[in-house]
Amino acid sequence: MSSPLPGRASTQASSQLGGPEPLRLMAVHAHPDDESSKGAATCARYVSEGVEVLVVSCTGGERGSILNPKLADDPRVLRDIAQVRREEMAAAAAALGVQHEWLGFVDSGLPEGDPLPPLPDGCFALEPLHVAAEALVRVVRRFKPHVMTTYDENGGYPHPDHIMCHKVSMAAFDAAGDPDAYPGEGEPWTPLKLYYNTMSRARILAIHEHLLREKGESPFTEWMERWSEREERIVTTRVPVAEFFPQRDAALLAHATQIDPDGFWFAAGRDLEARLWPTEDFELARSRVALPALAEGEVESDLFAGVREHLAAGSAA
C-alpha cells in the first residue's frame, strides 16, 4: 500500500555526516485536492525553509464528483477519473514542493439522499481501524515526522472519509512510538505535535462581508448559513503564509477536475485575501513538548513551536 519516499536517502546520509537533522511535517488528508485547500500555503512555506514535508492521501479520490463544469464531459476524465486524479495530485505536489504518498485505500464517496444509502463495500470509511492505522503507522515510522496535521473529530465537515482520516491519524499518532504496537512495521517513532486543519469562520466571514460591501454578492452566503449550525473551532495557531498563496493556488488549479478556476476558491482575489487574512489557521490537538509562553490573547505562529526548543535541548545534552 505504500511506495518509497523520495529524498529520504540523502537526508539519512546528511544526518550520518553530522549535519543537523531537518524538521519534518506530515499532512494527512482524505483525498487528493484536500492538501491544496487545507494548509497548502503552510506546507509550501515550510518547504522553503528546508523542512521536509510529506502529504499522505488516504484514498485515491476515485468516487469524487467532477466539480469543474468545464471538464464535466471530458472523455478522458469520464473514462479514467482515478488516473486523472493521480496525475493531478502529482502536479499539485510539485507546485507545493512536497513529497507525496498514497496510503492505498478506496474513496468512500459522499452518500446523498434520504435515507442515506449505505457506503460501498471495501471503502476507506468501512476499513477496520487497526488495518488503516497500521498502514499510516508504517509511513510515520519511515518518514519520522516531528509534527502531524489532520482533521478534527467531525472531519472538518462530515464526509465519511474525513472522519475516518481523523480516527486513523489519531490512532497512528498514539501507536507509532509504541514498540508493542504493530511490531513488524518499523522502528518506533514518536511524533511530538498534532494539529487539526481549521477553516476559520472568522476568515470566511471577513471575506464574505467584504464581498457583500464591494460587490453586493458573495459565494460564501450558503457557507455562512451552514456555519450557524455548528460549533466554531478554537484557533491556537496562525501561520503567516500570504507570500505562498501563489503556490497554493497553483496546487488548487492542478486539481482541475475538482477546482473551478471561476468558482468560489478565487472569488476574493489574492491581494484582498492577503490583506484580510494572511494566515492559515490550526488547532493544536496534542503536544508532547512544552510550549513557549504566550501573552494573553496571543496564538502560536509556528507549527514547530516547542519542537525546535525540544530538539535543540536534546542535541545539547
Going by the annotation, the residues of the binding site for Zn(2+) are: 31, 34, 162
Strand order in the sheet with 52-59: 99-105, 52-59, 24-29, 147-150, 193-198, 279-287, 237-240
Residue 280 contacts by C-beta under 8 Å, 6 or more apart in sequence? 39, 40, 41, 42, 238, 239, 241
120: cell is: 460501498
- Which amino acid would we find at residue 208? H
Q: What spatial distance separates the first Cα and last Cα of the chain, rounded to whole Å?
A: 39
Task: Give CA angle at 264 (74, 46), nearest 5°.
Answer: 95
Residue 87 contacts by C-beta under 8 Å, 6 or more apart in sequence? none
Q: For residue 52, which of 19, 4, 1, 100 has the smallest C-alpha distance?
A: 100
Is the sign of the CA dihedral 16, 19, 23, 29 positive or negative? negative
Cell numbers 510550549 label which residue? 291
Binding residues: 31, 34, 162
Query: How far from 131 is each of 105, 108, 160, 181, 282, CA to CA, in Å?
Result: 10, 16, 17, 12, 28
Q: For residue 252, which of 44, 21, 40, 110 has the smallest C-alpha distance?
A: 40
